[in-house]
Amino acid sequence: MTAATVSPGRTGTERAAPALDPAAPPAEYSAVNPTEILVVLPALNEAAHIETCIRSLMRPRGWVSGCRVVIADGGSADGTQEIVSRLMGEFANLRLIENRGRLQSAGVNLAVARCAGSSHRVLVRCDVHAIYPPGYIGALAQELARVGAASVVTAMDATGGCGFQRAAAWIVDTPLGSGGSAHRGGRKAQFVDHGHHAAFDLGWFRRVGGYDPTISHNEDAEFDLRLTRAGGRIWLTDRTRIAYAMRPTFGALWRQYWNYGRGRANTLSKHRIVPRLRQIVPVLNTWLLALSLAAAPLTPLALVWPTLYLTVLAGTSVAAAIGLRSIDGLWAGPALAAIHLAWGLGFMQRILGGRRLAPAPRLHAG
């Protein structure tokens, strides 16, 4: 896997964002023009989402057409690159680069190394599975200038079209599904220690060394840990938010949260820090379920905890069916089980069986 390098720099269902003029830069950010903003989307086999995402970012053309938008593709074999190449004929500011590191973390670093010039001041990271409201890039630029933060993160509203997606979206933005993460369906603007990455002051991004290019999941939380330790502040904005498409099947959601659990364990192991309560709860629940089932042949009392947990899952399904006014909501219980158990098992597998990660090499001038 190849780590990208960046040169040192100066520090310095969709819901509408608050009213903005998307064709012009926000007044508070008049000191920065579009040519000073780099937008990066890491992608790998995203043919189903890439065009919708890019078009949502580019609308309306206006001010956004002055930003450089880079797709860092990790070797897609499903037509993603062909879609981007076609869109490059429509959007002159769109560029495609090859990310041989494949991982999102390596792709963002590579885009900064290759495409951010000395005049670029702001990095906006986007997710291909998201749909962006008009004026999104300008709103982020406005917040960076107004708050003076090192990074701005956004609230995420989970969405889904099919039955399982709708139910998973309903539960993931609740405390049961997210553990109370401020950026999951949040409404309050505040300084936080972590959130869904959106915009960075490029000087701060370079100062802390960019992403760890060896981390496949949870790279944003690992970056935020280093950023806050270095004195950078992270602002959760309430001026814009994104719609995020949930995984469409139980198996896909399970794999996603298995990787999330492993990724969080990587971060804790690398930095030797104690997990928070909301990170410990799914692990304890998984352990209790395993121990209870193992002890069930010896005493029926061992089934108390599994029974309680199944009751919670069943109650979640009923509540979701009522909330969504659809039988689709019955998938909410299985989706919640995938979120909890896959995360807990992935975390334990990494802690008990994985190797300890060495500190990532700092990104430097290449």
Cα separation, 84 vs 73, in Å, equals: 10
pLDDT value of position 180: 61
Q: Per-residue DSSP letters for 256-286? A: HHHHHHHHHHHHHHHHT-PPPHHHHHHHHHH
25/215 Cα distance (integer angstroms) = 35
| Residue 138 CB contacts under 8 Å (≥ 6 apart), including other chains | 20, 22, 24, 25, 26, 29, 63, 64
- 21-67 confidence digits (pLDDT tens): 444 444 444 456 888 999 999 999 999 999 999 999 987 666 788 89
Instruction: Work out the average pLDDT over 162-176.
Output: 92
Among 77, 70, 75, 76, residue whose Cα is nearest residue 108: 70
Any residues with CB less than 8 A from the CB of 227 and at least 6 apart, and which? 150, 151, 204, 208, 234
Who has greater pLDDT, 21 or 85? 85
Task: Indicate if the pLDDT at residue 14 is higher than 50.
Answer: no
Which string of b and e fits 337-364 if b means at least 16 CB within 10 Å? Answer: bbbbbbbbbbbbebbeeeeebeebeebe
Confidence of residue 19 (pLDDT cuts 50, 70, 90): very low
pLDDT per position as a tens digit, 296-306: 999 999 999 99
Angle at 196 between CA 72 and CA 22, to 5 degrees: 75
Tens of pLDDT, residue by residue over 328-342, are 999 999 999 999 999
d(CA 127, CA 258): 19
Pairing of strands 68-73, 37-43: parallel
Question: H or E segment at 224?
Answer: helix 219-229
Q: Are 60 and 169 in contact (CB under 8 A)?
A: no
Q: Is the pTM of this model over 0.75?
A: yes
Q: Give the residue with greater pLDDT, 166 vs 187.
A: 166
pLDDT at 364 over 50: no
Query: Helix 277-295 to helix 250-271 angle, to the nearest 10 degrees?
Result: 120
- pLDDT score at 28: 45
DSSP per residue over 1-65, as a string? -PPP-----------PPSS--TTS--GGGTTS-GGGEEEEEEESS-TTTHHHHHHHHH-S-TGGG
The contacts of residue 51 (CB under 8 Å, 6+ apart) are 83, 87
End-to-end CA distance of the chain: 16
CB 48 within 8 A of CB 161: no
Q: With CA atoms as reference, report the closest residue to 338 among 223, 256, 237.
A: 256
Q: Token digits for 353?
A: 């069986």
Token look-up 């999102």 returns: 104
Cβ atoms of residues 199 and 123 within 8 Å: yes
Rg of the chain in Å (alpha carbons): 21
- What span, in angstroms and rounded, lies between the C-alpha atoms of 324 and 5? 47
User: What is the widest separation between alpha-carbon atoms in the chain?
Assistant: 71
Domain ranges of the chain: 27-247, 266-353
Query: Model confidence over 308-317: pLDDT tens digits?
Result: 999 999 999 9
Least confident of 49-53, 321-325, 331-335, 353-357: 353-357
d(CA 87, CA 52): 11
- The pLDDT confidence band at residue 195, using thresholds 50, 70 and 90, is confident
At residue 34, the pLDDT reads 87
27-247 CATH, one of 3.40.1010.10, 3.40.640.10, 3.90.550.10, 3.40.50.300: 3.90.550.10
